[in-house]
Each structure stands twice: as structure tokens, then as C-alpha cells.
């Protein structure tokens, strides 16, 4: 199994019970999976639990990845996001999280500085983000990285639900346009 | 006012919907390719955002991989179900039908099992002296080997022949297949019991292709066209199909 092996070939090899292929997938994407999980669940232990689950799920159900629909990394991160959200929405975790959030100041709008976006290393993606309004950035960040539903985002930002879901959708479309123009997306 | 599935598309990609809303969007997307495409775009954007965020330290402890490795250590044959859950898949149709009425399906799909003697004569005549060709030729004449013809389910006259030995080694005599674009490949599938497994990625312009299928009684073979590198489960129609009636 080489570092040049395609995502599709990796998945096929995993489907044939090739442990080296799973190891290669882990080497390529394990850190990204862990980083996203950790950002959402805010616990190293839980993030490692999520990471383990994601790769075991890939091992047992490799057919869930369809290379015609995107890259393996995107698939794994989408899976990671969903599993992390499930974890933090579990009642026990939610209570602990709310207690942690309670000590933070109420949140309204944020600029790129002082938010999760300040950690964006890619100049292209940072540039794309700058095309969004602050409201759009805040709504997307709260939904994606804090794991809130759009209704919870609306409550947190003190804005109507319809406005928030529109901002999320418009922001995502605008990001797609920008990322495409910058060559980050096809 | 209840939001439309389109209104919820962005929030869907961010996992920011409740379960009922998420299912509404998914059902709507099944019937609306435009919405499905928008969801795919949003999901790709979300994945890019996820990759863009750097947290430090972002490396899981070595124990994570060790745990994964330990978990799969005892699994010589993981419970992998290759039958795609999505509808409109030939795999689902084939497997479901094989389970209940293999004979009827064979008739419906006009499967043609060619007379073995005539096949062998034709095939050996066509064989070259390439080592793989020679191995295939040996397989064809070996006792217990079976030569089958995969037919076009759409009913055209096109066929592909395949030889399978008692040991589970086989050869697709695929040199008559038309070449595909470089980013495409033919892929061979074996139907083992009620499960469809990939038996090999054949390339875009295959000659004679060796393969091996281990374990279980083979009840059929199919060839599909896929993206280069192959897929784990196919969403495409079978170009050639043989079912053991």
C-alpha cells in the first residue's frame, strides 16, 4: 500500500480486509479526523473515542464511501462531524457543555479575529471567509463547530430562525463560489 | 411557516437540523437532483472548512491506532455487507431476486450459458502465448473448470466469457471489451450466496484478467463500468451479467 494509492483503491482494499490499507487511511486522515472531533467535543478523550469509531466504521462498512461523490477525507470528516454532534447532543454531555458555556459571555457577532476562523491556515480559505458577512460567519461557526442546531444558533444570536437558516445557506453558497474561484474546489 | 427542504439545505450540511428536518431534506433530495447537488456542494464546503481549522496539538495518541488495530485483529472476515443500501442498484436487484427466484431471473435477464465444448474450442483458438493467457488456457481445459458467458442484460448480442477453476482462481477473457476513457475502469463482481463482492478492478482496456474469489458458492458474476480505481459498491447497471440458474 503506497502513499500514491487512490482513495477508491484504498476503500476497495479495506473492503478486502487489508489492514495495511486501513493503516494508510489512518495515517493520511487520522489527525484531521481527530482535530475536527476535538474542536467539536472539546475533549481529547472523547475526540480519540470518535476517531477510533470513525476508522472502525470505515473498516466494517467501507461501502459507505462512494469515490464518485467526493474524497475519502471529506467523507471521513463528514462522518466525524456527525458522530461528534451526536456525542455532544447526548443529554449528559450537553449538560456538562452548557455548564461550561454558562461561564462564557453571551455571544453576539464576531469578527474573524477571536473566533475559530482565526485558526484557518489556508490563505485561500481565509480569503473566502472574508467574503461572508460577520452574521454569516458567526452562524456557520456556531452550527458547525459548536454543534448547535440553527434554532439554537438563532437563540444564541438573538435573531429569527428564518434569518439564521437563510444566512447559513447563503454563506455556504458564497463560500462555494469563492472557493471555486480560488481553485480550492473544482 | 414550515421551512422548505431547500431553505434547510445549508443547515443540513452543518448537521444543524433535528432528526425530522434532516429526514425531510434527505427524502426531498432523493427526488430532486438539483437539491441533491446543492447538498453535495454544501457538504464539500463543510469538509473544506473542517480541514482548514488547525488545532494544536492535533495528533491523537498512539493508543488510538493501537486500539483500532486490536479491535480488528481478531476479524479474519469482517461482517462486510457489500450490498448497497441505495435503491436502483443492480446489486440490490440481483441479490434480492437471486434469493427468491434465481431461475426466473435467469430467464428474465436472458442469461446465456454457452455450451462448454464449443466455448473451449473457441477460447483456446483465441488464446495468445502470454503467461496470463497460457494460465487461462490451462484453466479452461482443467478438470472441474467452468466457463460461463456474461450477457448484456439489456439484450444486445455482446458477451464476455470467464473461466473459473475449482480452486477459486478465474480469468475474465475480456480482451474483446471496448477500451474506456483513462479515468474509467471495468470492475468484476462476484455474487457469493446473497452477497455481492468486488472480484477485481480490470482497468480501462483489459486483456485477460485474472481474479480470485475465496469462500462460498458463487451464484453469479457481473461487470460494471466505474471510476478508475474501482468502487466498493456499484451504483451502475451491470454491463454483463451471468447468474447460475
Neighbouring residues of A170: CB distance < 8 A, sequence distance ≥ 6: A136, B10
Q: Do the Cβ atoms of B60 and A147 come within 8 Å?
A: no
Residue B57 lies in a domain: no
Tell me, what's the pLDDT at A153? 93
- Which residues make beta-bridge pairs with B151? B159, B241
Tell me, what's the pLDDT at B78? 36
Residue B182 lies in a domain: yes
Residue B2 lies in a domain: no
DSSP 8-state assignment for residue A120: B
Whole-number Å distance between alpha carbons of A10 and A24: 8
Whole-number Å distance between alpha carbons of A151 and A140: 12
Whole-number Å distance between alpha carbons of B145 and B166: 6
Q: Do the Cβ atoms of B45 and A172 come within 8 Å?
A: yes
In Å, how far are A16, A105, B58, B165 from A116, measured between CA atoms?
Answer: 39, 16, 15, 59
Q: Say how many domains are in chain B.
A: 2
For residue B3, list chain A residues with Cβ-Cβ distance below 8 A.
162, 165
SS3 B153: coil
Nearest of B169, B171, B150, B114 to residue B222 by alpha carbon: B150
**pLDDT averaged over every residue in chain B:** 73
pLDDT more than 90, % of chain A: 34
Nearest of A47, A67, A51, A63 to residue A5 by alpha carbon: A67
> Which residue among A8, A16, A55 places its CB closest to the CB of B229?
A8
**Is residue B121 located within the same domain as residue B20?**
no
Confidence of residue A145 (pLDDT cuts 50, 70, 90): confident
SS3 B164: strand
Tell me, what's the pLDDT at A176? 93
Q: Are strands B184-192 and B169-173 parallel, antiparallel or unpaired?
A: unpaired
CATH 3.30.365.10 fits A1-104, yes or no: no
* Per-residue pLDDT tens over the stretch B69-125: 988 876 644 333 333 333 334 555 555 444 433 333 332 222 223 333 343 344 444
- Residue from B1, B2, B3, B16 whose CB has the most chain A CBs within 10 Å, to mutate: B16
Residue B4 lies in a domain: no
**Is residue B97 located within the same domain as residue B183?**
yes
Specify the DSSP element, H or E, that contains B94: helix B90-108
Residue B63 lies in a domain: no
**Is residue B94 located within the same domain as residue B43?**
no
Tell me, what's the pLDDT at A62? 81
**Is residue B157 located within the same domain as residue B209?**
yes
Domain that holds residue B47: 9-52
**Is residue B46 located within the same domain as residue B136?**
no
**Is residue B102 located within the same domain as residue B217?**
yes
| Residue-range domain boundaries for chain A | 1-104, 107-186
Number of H helices, E strands in chain B: 7, 8
Fold classification of A107-186 is Arc Repressor Mutant, subunit A (1.10.10)
**Is residue B141 located within the same domain as residue B213?**
yes
For residue B61, list chain A residues with Cβ-Cβ distance below 8 A.
48
Neighbours of B225 (CB within 10 A): 18
Tell me, what's the pLDDT at B215? 66
Which of A1-5, A124-128, A173-177, B226-230 is the least confident region? A1-5
Whole-number Å distance between alpha carbons of A104 and B174: 66
Whole-number Å distance between alpha carbons of A25 and A56: 11
Tell me, what's the pLDDT at B179? 87
* Per-residue pLDDT tens over the stretch A4-62: 677 777 877 787 778 888 999 999 899 889 988 988 888 899 999 999 999 999 988 88
**Is residue B95 located within the same domain as residue B24?**
no
Query: Taking CA atoms, what residue in A is nearest to B183?
Result: A68
DSSP string, B204-219: SS-SEEEEE--SS-EE
Q: What is the mean pLDDT of residues A107-117?
A: 47
Whole-number Å distance between alpha carbons of B17 and A152: 10
**pLDDT averaged over every residue in chain A:** 80
pLDDT-flagged residues of chain B (< 70): 1, 53-57, 74-132, 214-215, 245
The nearest CA of chain B is from the CA of A6 a distance in Å of 7
Task: Tell whether B88 is within 8 A of chain A (Cβ).
Answer: no
Whole-number Å distance between alpha carbons of A178 and A184: 9
Tell me, what's the pLDDT at A105? 39
Residue B119 lies in a domain: yes
In Å, how far are A139, A142, A180, B9, B11 from A155, measured between CA atoms?
Answer: 11, 11, 32, 20, 15
Whole-number Å distance between alpha carbons of B139 and B147: 9
**Is residue B97 located within the same domain as residue B155?**
yes
In Å, how far are A126, A141, B5, B46, B201 from A179, measured between CA atoms?
Answer: 10, 17, 24, 11, 33
**Is residue B113 located within the same domain as residue B41?**
no
Amino acid at each position: 500500500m503506497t502513499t500514491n494509492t487512490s482513495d477508491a483503491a484504498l476503500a476497495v482494499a479495506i473492503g478486502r480486509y487489508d489492514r495495511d490499507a486501513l493503516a494508510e487511511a489512518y495515517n493520511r486522515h487520522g489527525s484531521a479526523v481527530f482535530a475536527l472531533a476535538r474542536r467539536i467535543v472539546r475533549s481529547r478523550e472523547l475526540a480519540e473515542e470518535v476517531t477510533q469509531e470513525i476508522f472502525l466504521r470505515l473498516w466494517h462498512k467501507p461501502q459507505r464511501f462512494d469515490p464518485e461523490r467526493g474524497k475519502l477525507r471529506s467523507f471521513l470528516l463528514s462522518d466525524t462531524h456527525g458522530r461528534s454532534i451526536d456525542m455532544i447532543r447526548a443529554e449528559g454531555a450537553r449538560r456538562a457543555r452548557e455548564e461550561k458555556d454558562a461561564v462564557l459571555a453571551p455571544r453576539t457577532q464576531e469578527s474573524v479575529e477571536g473566533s475559530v476562523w482565526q485558526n484557518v491556515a489556508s490563505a485561500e480559505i481565509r480569503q473566502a471567509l472574508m467574503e461572508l458577512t460577520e452574521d454569516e460567519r458567526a452562524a456557520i461557526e456556531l452550527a458547525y463547530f459548536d454543534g448547535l442546531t440553527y434554532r439554537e444558533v438563532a437563540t444564541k444570536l438573538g435573531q429569527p430562525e428564518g434569518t439564521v437558516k437563510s444566512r447559513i445557506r447563503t454563506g455556504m453558497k458564497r463560500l462555494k463560489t469563492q472557493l471555486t474561484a480560488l481553485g480550492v474546489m473544482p | 411557516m414550515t421551512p422548505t427542504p431547500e431553505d434547510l439545505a445549508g443547515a443540513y450540511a452543518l448537521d444543524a437540523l433535528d432528526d425530522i428536518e434532516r429526514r425531510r431534506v434527505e427524502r426531498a433530495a432523493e427526488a430532486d437532483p438539483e437539491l441533491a447537488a446543492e447538498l453535495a456542494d454544501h457538504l464539500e464546503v463543510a469538509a473544506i472548512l473542517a480541514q482548514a481549522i488547525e488545532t494544536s496539538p492535533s495528533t491523537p495518541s498512539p493508543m488510538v491506532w493501537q486500539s483500532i488495530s486490536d479491535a480488528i485483529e481478531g476479524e479474519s472476515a469482517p461482517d462486510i455487507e457489500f450490498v448497497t443500501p441505495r435503491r436502483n442498484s443492480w446489486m440490490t436487484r440481483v441479490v434480492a431476486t437471486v434469493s427468491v427466484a434465481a431461475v426466473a431471473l435467469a430467464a428474465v435477464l436472458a442469461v446465456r450459458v454457452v455450451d462448454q465444448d464449443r466455448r473451449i474450442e473457441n477460447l483456446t483458438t483465441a488464446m495468445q502465448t502470454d503467461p496470463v493467457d497460457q494460465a487461462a488456457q490451462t484453466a479452461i481445459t482443467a478438470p472441474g473448470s467452468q466457463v460461463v458467458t456474461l450477457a448484456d442484460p439489456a439484450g444486445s448480442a455482446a458477451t464476455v466469457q470467464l473461466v473459473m477453476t475449482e480452486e477459486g482462481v478465474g480469468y475474465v477473457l475480456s480482451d474483446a471489451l471496448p477500451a474506456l476513457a483513462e479515468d474509467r475502469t471495468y470492475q468484476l463482481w462476484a455474487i457469493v450466496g446473497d452477497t455481492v463482492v468486488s472480484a477485481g478492478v480490470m482497468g480501462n482496456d483489459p486483456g485477460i484478467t485474472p481474479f480470485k474469489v475465496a469462500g462460498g458458492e458463487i451464484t453469479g458474476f457481473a461487470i460494471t463500468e466505474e471510476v478508475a480505481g474501482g468502487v466498493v459498491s456499484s451504483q451502475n447497471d451491470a454491463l454483463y451479467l451471468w447468474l447460475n440458474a
